[in-house]
Structure 1
Amino acid sequence: MAQSVFQVGGNFGSSLGPLLIAFVVLPQGQKSLAWFTLAALFGIVLLTGLGHWYKQHGQAIQKKHAAVKHTLNLSRKRIGGALAVLIMLTLSKYFYLASITSYYVFYLMQHFHTGERDAQLYLFLFLAAVAAGTVIGGPVGDRIGRKKVIWISILGVLPLTLLLPYVALPVTVALSVVIGLVIASAFSAILVYAQELLPGRVGMVSGLFFGLAFGLGGLGAAVLGALADRTSIDFVYKVCSVLPALGLLTGFLPDIHKPDVGEEAETMATVEVLAPLGSEE
């Protein structure tokens, strides 16, 4: 859940992009975006405050979490294989998301002859569903397990993605919302699963998978753009519709069951950390 809360800010912010285009940029021009640099300035102020807070309390939090680390009875080869599977699942997710976020507007305008403003609003619905799915995926993964969420969120959307290029506009919009909602729940589960594979390497794992997420998204947009130039955007959506089939690789992931004692110790550690912070406030 913590990972989902962390990610939802970026996803929700991204979802507002099409609204800015529809209601600010299209009627007033790109220069109107200059006012939104104030939001970036506000973010700098917030992060400065957060940095001072973490300097005072971060080391204590890390020590508490280090005390409740659990070890897995998995060989290096098995852990390496699981990480490779997680990387392939990340690739399938972000390549497919790149096909929507980068080319959905053009697809709607060319395939259904929608206006640019309407197409941007439909893109907002998809990105808002991605933000909602990000929030939902965390607590669901805590309850039923990361692996089950990965199964459902990637392989579960395959029938919908295969159907998407062949349906009418209302069904296309509805399917894209459901796809965004479901597929977005995967990343927090993938990331936390990888962190559990390599306990004590939270920073390294987070850097690796966030770097892959952004990098694969950019690479996917470029590759799909080149493919669209050679063929058509319709063809790109047909090709991308099979990407969630890579979710079958989830079957190669080992089952990770965190001991109940560890969970209880972690909960107690969190309470011990937050208690003095609450008293200071």
Structure 2
Amino acid sequence: MEVKCDNRQTLSYLWLLTGGHFLSDFYANFLPALLPVVISNLGISLTVSGLLVMVFAITSSMLQPVFGYFVDKSGYTWLILTTLPISAVFICFGALSSTPVMLFSSVALAGLATSLFHPLGSSLIGRTTNHSNKSISMSIFVGGGNLGYALAPVIVIYLIASYGIEYLPWLVLPSIVITTAYYITGLHKVNLTINRESFTNDERWYKSKSIIKLNLVMALRSWPQVAIPTFLPVMLSLQGYEPTLAGNMLTIFLLSGAIGGLIGGYCGDKFGYKNCIIGALIFGLIPTYMFLSTEGLHWIIWISLGLCGAALQSMVPSSIIWAQHIMPKNAAMASGMMLGLSFGLGGVGTAVTGILADLIGLKLALLATLVPLIISIPIAFSIPVNEHHLVNTKSC
């Protein structure tokens, strides 16, 4: 069944998908807030905690292009009804795991549901919005995820500190509410298969130097973006600070990222996607270094933290649309690469940071994440901007 969208329905789908992205990324960012608790309860090391982050990064992020290819080819939109509840149940109940094996298994299953939502959601944004509004719609969609990602640590830390970790499963309820809204509005029936014949062409990602380079740039950028919020609560805990401080700092970092994503979407349209990404990479070096090298908790730390989060996240909308320019007939797969694969590779880098932290100390290990940012700049310069043109598709 194919759903016909009028303007009001198009707007409702945009906000429902943005709300779903908010929840998907909300559940996806529980780990930083949970790490100090599970390290204490299960007695795991920083290396093992880094591996836990890597497992979640692989299942929730690196598999997104695979799910994106599947979505492009099959058009199984009804799977949107399974993503949020599965993610919520396994991450919330997984926090109560009594063994590392249970914890790793729960985190992996929650990650798979997260990995499916992102290419599905971004494809639905493309199908339910007009061509002239795709950039702003994508920025709103990405911004919703950024906001959920930003608020997760402070909410989870507050809930655990005030009521105990056993109350975490109550956070499953919002996923059920918005999934019900998806079903009632018929979002799960939107047709995604109109370009099925496009899979007979020779448009393969591994033959495009541009998409490989863009993935590499975004992966290197993701390394500090994943490592800093992952290990910030642990670093502050080791320094003797209260957990609420970690929650506040994570919120500043991630909420600034949400604002940066919206600004980056505007700048990408106005100045070009490549210029936006290169500018953000160069600018981001300064506040990232200032935050990681400055001692104490005075105003320079807080401002640097916010600017760091904004700069690192501002590149995401431009990277998605640029990737869709490069792979116009495989939009879900391209989106999965930018929203998932590159972020997942950053999670692998976070595991390396965890290993370095056990060897040289956590603060120095985090400072070393500046190196990937520096390496990414000349790679971004080398990517051409006119490989393909974005195809115009009618909504629904």
Structure 2 length as normaliser, TM-score? 0.57
2:158 equivalent to 1:23: yes
Query: Which residue type is aligned with residue 327 of structure 2?
Result: L
1:91 corresponds to which of 219, 222, 236: 219
Over residues 71-128 of structure 1, what are the superposed CA-to-partner deviations in whole Å (9 max), with x where a residue is unaligned? xxxx9999722112111111112111111110112223445x4322112111111111
Structure 1 residues 164, 43: CA separation in 2 closer, same or farther (over 3 Å shift)?
A: same
* Residue aligning to 1:149: 276
* Residue aligning to 1:253: 383
Aligned pair count reads 252
**Structure 2 residue matching 1:200: 3-state secondary structure:** coil
What is the CA–CA distance in structure 1 between the aligned matches of 2:341 and 2:168, rounded to whole Å? Answer: 29
**Structure 2, unaligned runs of 5 or more:** 1-135
**Structure 2 residue matching 1:92: 3-state secondary structure:** helix
Structure 1 residues 214, 257: CA separation in 2 closer, same or farther (over 3 Å shift)?
A: closer
8 Å contact from structure 2 (residues 233, 246) kept in 1: yes
Q: CA deviation at 1:220?
A: 2.7
What is the RMSD computed on CA atoms of the aligned residues?
Answer: 2.9
What percent of counterpart residues are identical? 23
Runs of 4 or more, structure 1, over 4 Å off, are 56-59, 75-79
Over residues 22-46 of structure 1, what are the superposed CA-to-partner deviations in whole Å (9 max), with x where a residue is unaligned? 4211121111212111011113213
8 Å contact from structure 1 (residues 22, 121) kept in 2: no
Query: Which residue type is aligned with residue 158 of structure 1?
Result: L
Query: Which residue type is aligned with residue 227 of structure 2?
Result: S
Question: 1 or 2, which has the higher helix percentage?
Answer: 1
What is the CA–CA distance in structure 1 between the aligned matches of 2:221 and 2:139, rounded to whole Å? Answer: 16
What is the CA–CA distance in structure 1 between the aligned matches of 2:330 and 2:323, rounded to whole Å? Answer: 9
1:239 corresponds to which of 362, 368, 378: 368
**Structure 2 residue matching 1:194: 3-state secondary structure:** helix
Larger Rg over CA atoms:
1
8 Å contact from structure 1 (residues 157, 182) kept in 2: yes
**Structure 1 residue matching 2:290: 3-state secondary structure:** helix
8 Å contact from structure 1 (residues 98, 218) kept in 2: yes
2:309 equivalent to 1:175: no
What is the CA–CA distance in structure 2 between the aligned matches of 1:189 and 1:100, rounded to whole Å? Answer: 22
2:321 equivalent to 1:195: no
**Structure 2 residue matching 1:199: 3-state secondary structure:** coil
Structure 1 residues 226, 78: CA separation in 2 closer, same or farther (over 3 Å shift)?
A: closer
Query: Which residue type is aligned with residue 382 of structure 2?
Result: F
8 Å contact from structure 1 (residues 109, 116) kept in 2: yes
8 Å contact from structure 2 (residues 182, 188) kept in 1: no
What is the CA–CA distance in structure 2 between the aligned matches of 1:10 and 1:204, rounded to whole Å? Answer: 18
